[in-house]
Amino acid sequence: KPNPPNTTCTTTISSPFTGLPKLNWWGLVDLYQWEGFWYHDIVLEAAMAAKSSFTALHDDVFVAASPKTGSTWLKALVASIIHRGGGDGGGDCEGGDEDDEDADDPLRYHHPNDLVPSLELQKKWKVRSAKHGLSTALPNLCLILSLTRIKINQDLKTSSCKIVYITRDPKDVFVSLWHFTNTQRSPEQGPFPFDDAFKSFCNGFHSFGSFHEHVLQFWNASLKSPKKILFLKYEDLKREPKGEVLKLASFLGRPLANDGKAEKIVQRCSIERLKNLEVNRDGVDPWSGFPKSSYFRLGLVGDWKNKLSMEMKDKLDEITRVKFEGSDLSI
Ligand code: A3P
């Protein structure tokens, strides 16, 4: 891996990250490189702790993704499939009246990030009980942002936990990441310079980067354990949402009959609906510090065409081609 030009080594004795390569990411936060990937410090601390002591339980379902690949959508879909109506999740929903056909919908009352909390942001995983214990509405779901660094690799062999991974065209990922990250910058700062952001993304210098290594890690793991890891693509979900939802439900051991439930889940999880729900409109996600609304922007395939030059497109496509060469993976 190339070293970032502004990498420094931390030397503070009290820091748990002493000696790790460090870089400042888009003027926002410091990232530390650990076991080949870049981490925000609060996430790294939890990831290190999780690696040594987190154990997956049999009914755990992990949503896994690199940021901006559609993980919020996938969280909503997984939560809807596992806790779809009929009382198996409705009990968690406060409010709503009985005549309301969406009263049993957890998404109506919870941002997807609350339904599927991040293992690496949510420190409460440490105190979960023998079964579950995360202080969330639907506690046996969890987001993981990395695979090797928590010991799920090992747990996959001994537990029946499952992982659903989503990825997306890196060009759209980069543009989405740039917009998302800019929500943290003040009007005085303005957006982060686009060309610099692009260069750093191409070099893999971003939170949980590199993107390509992240994807490959889960792709290879899914080939080894197809019954434990389902590998999805954002573009497939956009093209054929019902088919992908049926596939996802079967993988999770909650197959859907052909009685309109799959269509209902697709509709409930649509970006148009989610972005307009009150629960997702205001406030800040307490774990990431980003506005709740910033997780729902356009939700399109190919938005990169509005931001990337042809030269940038060719460069990123070439990086993707080289990185994935021989892997049988195309995105
Ligand atoms: P855009 O910025 O291209 O619109 P993540 O959830 O992993 O952070 O990814 C965010 C991206 O997924 C954003 O892409 C966001 O708009 C899109 N997204 C969020 N919810 C979605 C949904 N229900 N359907 C489709 N796309 C969605």
Q: What integer pLDDT is reported at residue 147 of this predicted model?
A: 56
Residue 295 near ligand 1, beta carbon < 6 Å: yes
Q: What is the mean pLDDT of the chain?
A: 83
CA of 176 from ligand 1 middle (Å) equals 8
Which pLDDT band, with edges at 50, 70 and 90, does 128 fall under?
A: very low
What mean pLDDT do residues 135-142 have? 44
Residue 71 near ligand 1, beta carbon < 6 Å: yes
Q: DSSP class of residue 2?
A: P
Q: How do residues 83-120 score in pLDDT, each as one tens digit?
A: 864 334 333 444 445 556 788 899 999 999 888 877 76
Q: What integer pLDDT is reported at residue 271 of this predicted model?
A: 98
- Hey, which of 110-114, 129-133, 166-170, 282-286 has the most confident mean pLDDT? 166-170
Rounded Cα gap, residues 223 and 251, in angstroms: 15
Q: How do residues 289-331 score in pLDDT, each as one tens digit?
A: 899 999 999 999 999 999 999 999 999 999 999 999 999 999 8
Residue 326: exposure state from Cβ atoms within 10 A (0-12, 13-18, ≥19):
exposed
Q: What integer pLDDT is reported at residue 17 of this predicted model?
A: 84
Considering only 57-71, 147-161, 232-246, which range has the smallest mean pLDDT? 147-161
Question: Helix, strand, or coil here: 101?
Answer: coil
Question: What are the tokens at 275?
Answer: 């972005």
Is the pLDDT assigned to residue 143 strictly greater than 80? Answer: no
Question: What are the tokens at 60?
Answer: 């755990």
CA of 83 from ligand 1 middle (Å) equals 21
| Chosen CATH of 56-324 out of 3.40.50.970, 3.40.50.300, 3.40.640.10, 2.40.110.20 | 3.40.50.300
CA of 328 from ligand 1 middle (Å) equals 26
Radius of gyration for the chain, computed over Cα atoms and rounded to the nearest angstrom: 20
Q: How do residues 38-57 score in pLDDT, each as one tens digit?
A: 988 878 887 787 777 777 77
For a substitution probing ligand 1, which of 71, 271, 277 has the most ligand atoms within 8 Å of its CB? 271
Closest Cα to atom 25 of ligand 1: 299
CA of 174 from ligand 1 middle (Å) equals 12
Which residues make beta-bridge pairs with 9?
A: 21
Closest Cα to atom 27 of ligand 1: 299
For a substitution probing ligand 1, which of 69, 71, 72 has the most ligand atoms within 8 Å of its CB? 72
Nearest CA among 199, 214, 77 for reference residue 138: 77
Task: Provide the residue ranges of all domains of the chain, joining segments of one domain with +.
Answer: 56-324
Residue 260, sorted as left (phi over 0), alpha (psi -120 to 50) or beta, turns out to be: left
CA of 109 from ligand 1 middle (Å) equals 19
User: Which atom in ligand 1 lies closest to the alpha carbon of residue 69?
Assistant: 7
**Higher model confidence: residue 213 or residue 123?**
213
Considering only 73-87, 230-244, 269-283, which range has the smallest mean pLDDT? 73-87
Please give the model's pTM, rounded to 2 decimal places: 0.88
